[in-house]
Chains A and B, each alone.
Chain A
Amino acid sequence: MSCKPMKKDESAALAQHRRTFFTQAAAGVSLMALAPGVRLVELAMANSEDSPPSNDKRWGLLVDTAKCESGCDECVSACNSEHGLSGHGRPETDAQWIRKVDLKDEQTGHELSIPILCQHCEDPPCVDVCPTGASFRRADGIVLVDKHICIGCRYCMMACPFQARSFIHEDLTGQKTHSPRGKGTVESCTLCVHRVDEDQQPACVEACRAAGHDALVFGDLEDAAGPLASLSSKTATRELRPDLKLNTGVRYTSF
Chain B
Amino acid sequence: MINLDRNSIAGLIALFLTLLSSTGTAVADVVTPEVPMGRGAQCVEPIEIMRRDHFEFIKHQRDQTVYHGIRGTRHSLAGCIDCHASKGTDGEFLPINAEGQFCQTCHTYAAVKIDCFTCHATVPD
Binding site for B on A (CB under 8 A): 1-2, 4-6, 8-9, 12-13, 16, 19-20, 49-53, 136, 138, 140, 144, 146-148, 171-178, 180-185, 193-194, 196-198
How many B residues, CB 8 Å from partner? 27
Is B1 on the interface with A (CB-CB < 8 A)? yes
Chain B's closest residue to A176 (CB) is B121
Docked pose: A16 CA to B75 CA in angstroms: 9
Q: Is the CB of B60 within 8 A of A176?
A: no
Q: Is the CB of B68 within 8 A of A175?
A: no
Q: Is the CB of B2 within 8 A of A50?
A: no
Q: Is the CB of B57 within 8 A of A49?
A: no
Q: Is the CB of A20 within 8 A of B3?
A: no
Interface residue SS majority, chain A: loop
User: Chain A residues with Cβ under 8 A from B121's Cβ?
Assistant: 174-177, 180
Q: Is the CB of B57 within 8 A of A175?
A: no
Instruction: Provide a sorted-by-A list of 28 A–B residue pairs whose CB atoms are within 8 angstroms.
Output: A5-B1, A5-B3, A9-B56, A12-B56, A12-B57, A16-B60, A16-B74, A16-B75, A49-B70, A51-B70, A52-B67, A52-B68, A52-B69, A138-B69, A147-B119, A171-B118, A172-B118, A172-B119, A173-B122, A175-B121, A177-B120, A177-B125, A180-B119, A181-B119, A182-B120, A183-B118, A185-B119, A196-B69
Binding site for A on B (CB under 8 A): 1-4, 53, 56-57, 60, 62, 66-72, 74-75, 78, 81, 118-122, 124-125
Docked pose: A19 CA to B72 CA in angstroms: 12
